[in-house]
Amino acid sequence: MNPILDNHCHLDSERGMGIAAVEDFSKSGGTHMLIVNQHSWKDGKNPTDITDFEERFYQTMEIVERATEILQGRAWSVLGIHPALISRLVEGGQTAEEAGEFMCDGLNIAAGLIGKGDAIALKSGRPHYEVSEEIWEISNVVLRHAISLAAKMGIAVQLHTETTEDLSEVSDWAMEMGLPWQKIVKHFAGGSCRGVTPSVISRMEELERAIRNGKPFMMETDYLDDPRRPGAVLGIKTVPKRTKLLRESGHERLMEMAHVETPKMVYGIETKETE
C-alpha cells in the first residue's frame, strides 16, 4: 500500500455526503484521513453550553469509526474550536473575555477526549479576518491555551489562522511551553510557512512550491461536505489524484515524506502499518 493521507477534511453525516465521500476518497486511492469536527454553530445558532461542543465532537468520532471500516488504512479525529466562534459569540452579546473562556472550556473537553484515545490532535487558531484589538488579544489567549494543553499531552495542534507564511511567533510560544514546533500545523497553508509544519492546500501551484521548498509538509483538501457548496474547498478526490500525479512525475520521495514521515513526526501515527 502506498499511503495517501488527507490531513484536514470535514464530513457531515446529516446534510452532506458523509460516508459516501469516504467511499469516493477510497476508490480514488486515498487510504487515510484526519477528519476535523464541523464548526461549533449549527443552523445559524451559536453553542450555549459545553454539551453543544460535545455533540459536534461525538458526531466526528462516530463518522471516523465508520470511515475506518471503509478505508484501506484508517481515519482519525481532530477535535477543537473554530476561532471564528469568538466573533459570533461577541455579536450575540458576550464579552470577548466571556467568549474566550467558553472556547477554552470547549478545548478542555476536546483534550479530555484526546486523552481517552478518541482523537489525536487539537484544532484551534485565531481569526483569518480583520477583528478588533480586543478580540485579537483574546483569540491569542485561546490559542495559547490550546498550545498549553497540547504541550501537557505531547500532541499536535492544527491551526486555522490568518493568511501568512510565517508563524514563528506561535512556534516560539509552543517551544516556551515545551511543545516541539513541528507539532504546530498550519491548516490551509501555502507551499511554505516558517515556524510550523504546513498542511498544504492541495492546489497544484502550492504543492509545487512545497516540493521546491523541500521541507516537511502534508497535504489537505479542507473538504467541507456542504451540499450548498459542492466540492468546497477542494473535492474529496483531490489529494489522491494530485499524489498519484506527483509520484508519476518523479516525486515519490517527497510524497513518502508527505504521507508517511511527516504524519509520523507530527502525530506519531503509522500510515504504512494501518492496513
Query: What's the order of all strands across the beta sheet hosting 184-189?
Result: 5-9, 32-36, 74-80, 121-125, 156-160, 184-189, 197-201, 218-220
Query: Which stretches within 116-237 are classed as H helix?
Result: 133-153, 168-177, 204-213
Q: Label the pairing between strands 156-160 and 74-80.
A: unpaired
Nearest Cα to Cα of residue 78 among 196, 172, 204, 187 = 187
Average pLDDT estimate for 75-104 = 98
Higher pLDDT, 226 or 267: 267
Mean pLDDT across the chain: 96
Predicted pLDDT at 7: 98
Tens digit of each residue's pLDDT (9 = 90 or more) over 9-68: 999 988 999 999 999 999 999 999 999 999 999 888 999 999 999 999 999 999 999 999
pTM of the model: 0.97
The rounded radius of gyration (Å) of the Cα atoms in the chain is 17
Fold for the domain defined by 5-267: TIM Barrel (3.20.20)
Write out the DSSP string of 191-207: S--BTSEEEEE--HHHH
Q: Is the pLDDT of residue 91 over 70?
A: yes
Cell numbers for 38, please give them: 464541523
Question: 223: left (phi > 0), else alpha (psi -120 to 50), else beta?
Answer: beta
Predicted pLDDT at 275: 54
List 184's β-bridge partners, or say none: 157
How many CA atoms lie within 13 Å of 33's alpha carbon, on the beta-carbon side? 36
Tens digit of each residue's pLDDT (9 = 90 or more) over 228-265: 887 679 999 999 999 999 999 999 999 999 999 999 99
Residue 74 phi, psi (nearest 5): -165, 175
Residues 99, 91 contacting (CB under 8 angstroms)? no
